[in-house]
Amino acid sequence: MTYLLALDQGTSSSRSIVFDAQGHVVAQAQQELPQIYPQPGWVEHNPLLIWQTQLDTARAVLQKAGLQARDIHALGITNQRETTVVWNRKTGQPIHNAIVWQDRRAEPACALLREQGHAELIQQRAGLLVDAYFSGTKLQWILNNVPGARAQAEAGELAFGTVDSWLMWQLTGGTVHATDVSNASRTMLFNIRTNQWDDELLALLDIPRQLLPEVRPSSADFGQVRPELLGQAIRISGVAGDQQSALFGQACFSAGMAKNTYGTGCFMLMHTGERFQTSQNGLLTTSAAQTGPRAEFAIEGSVFVGGAVVQWLRDGLNAIQSSSEVQQLAQSVPDAGGVMMVPAFTGLGAPYWNPEARGTITGITRGTTLAHIARAALESIAFQSTALLEAMSLDAVAAGGSPVTELRVDGGACVNDLLMQMQADLLGIPVVRPAVIETTALGAAYLAGLGSGLYAGLDELSQQWRAERTFVPQLARDLARERIAHWERAVRQATAT
């Protein structure tokens, strides 16, 4: 048998998964990653712990699988996107903690870019809205606030990277300073039309070019793991940011195919092929994982609070003891009894983009129970995702394409059958759950398999993708539209000033 090793470095944990050539999970290992909160709105990670936990899980998963490094055909990396690391090229030591994608310290710099009228240029080149979410202004903050950093950067002594670049540097002993197009596309410094770092964007943020990694396709040669780390050299031949990796793992290789990942938040991506398209409906344009030099794109929308609403029911309201209980509680009532929840705990993401919105629960009567609130909480995940897909379909039709006809789903919350049925009912299209829901790691493994010649091409991977269950709509479309209108009214209430 031939195996693939995927390193899945996430926000809250580092994981490693071994897959066989057919895409089945053989073994997995996971370690929690500590979060650092220096002050409100700031989120950091220790880069050395990112590396150590990832290496530990890679060693552990080989042991669990009863395999050695020589059994691994290739290694792929997928990672939390936008998280920013800067390190010294000679010593390999970080000069500051990693600034995590959730961190908001760079908002003043973003506000200045917007005030100066640069938002349209950035969207046309990078595909992104100006926001502290992305890496560029995080990097700018480090250069401006760490003593001596800017002078060192200009002298070529420092390296910048997202988490994939940091891991590659460590794995290869500093011989490779690279990233892939999907991670580069999240920096606000990369022209996704030309697949190049953009001199005008670099000048806007005052970023020295010598800091930056080389950008390669997602399926490419990224060097070899040092033999002493895992027992033998392993080629690194696949890299992609987590959401683009999940799109790839779901075999969404052509325009019009879409996936939604139900995690703490929800991330929906629709492949748009080789067409760069600026969304007119509050979504982002981003690079899809690329298997060759040609640029490929996706439209992306993010829901800030998805599965986190279930955690709030558990930890905030003490309504349930464990997250797995929410389906049973919600199913104990036939509907939400008119209750509507908008979980805007940290504002609303796409397609609303309202950071000032706050959570609301409306429609409460004397007969409202915890079960109704639990059902409304689950529905809120489906409603928010419906708003994303409707925005995507509008963009697709505006570009001469067709609305999305099927949604592939993954992430921890997709195992909730009630939620998936709610989603199908609201969307009016099939919602398809794959046999392997670890699609983020699977995408990295598939990219590595392609890059190392294990697979002949995308057709082979498409044939390997298998559905576990398809949820078909059971709600009449007029009733679904009525419910969506009710949701939009609730959103207006949550965003009213």
pLDDT digit string (tens) for 425-472? 999 999 999 998 889 999 999 999 999 999 989 999 999 999 999 999
Residue 126 CA to residue 101 CA, distance in Å, equals: 17
Contacts of 425 (CB under 8 A, 6+ apart): 473, 474, 475, 480
The enclosing H or E element of 432 equals: strand 431-434
For domain 251-434+466-497, give its CATH number from 3.30.70.20, 3.40.605.10, 3.30.420.40, 2.60.40.10. 3.30.420.40
Strand ranges inside 151-245, DSSP E: 158-162, 178-180, 190-191, 196-197, 214-216, 236-241
- Percentage above 70 pLDDT, the chain: 100
pLDDT at 243 over 70: yes
Please list, in sequence order, all residues whose beta carbon lies within 8 angstroms of the beta carbon of residue 258, skipping any fewer than 6 positions away.
Answer: 252, 268, 269, 270, 271, 389, 392, 404, 406, 407, 408
Mean pLDDT of 331-356: 85
Peptide bond into 351 cis (omega under 30): yes
Domain boundaries defined on the chain: 3-234, 251-434+466-497
Cβ neighbours, 10 Å, residue 59: 16
> Does 1 score more than 80 pLDDT?
no
pLDDT in tens, 289-328: 999 888 899 999 988 888 888 888 888 888 888 877 888 8
| Helix%, strand%, coil% for the chain, nearest 5 | 40, 25, 40
CA 249 to CA 434: how far, in whole Å?
10
Q: Between β-strands 190-191 and 258-262, what pairing exists: parallel, antiparallel or unpaired?
A: unpaired
Query: CA-to-CA distance for 448 and 238, rounded, in angstroms?
Result: 4
Matching fold, domains 3-234 and 251-434+466-497: yes
The pLDDT confidence band at residue 194, using thresholds 50, 70 and 90, is very high
Rounded mean pLDDT of 416-426? 93
Say which CATH topology domain 3-234 has.
Nucleotidyltransferase; domain 5 (3.30.420)
- pLDDT recorded at residue 443: 96
| pLDDT for 102 beyond 90 | no
The Cα 256–Cα 271 span in angstroms is: 6
Confidence band, pLDDT 50/70/90 cuts, at residue 250:
very high
Does position 57 have pLDDT exceeding 70, yes or no? yes
Q: Is 87 helix (H, G, I), strand (E, B) or coil?
A: strand
Decide if pLDDT at 399 tops 80: no
Would the pLDDT of 144 be above 90?
yes
- Percent of the chain with pLDDT strictly greater than 90: 69
At 135 the pLDDT is 95
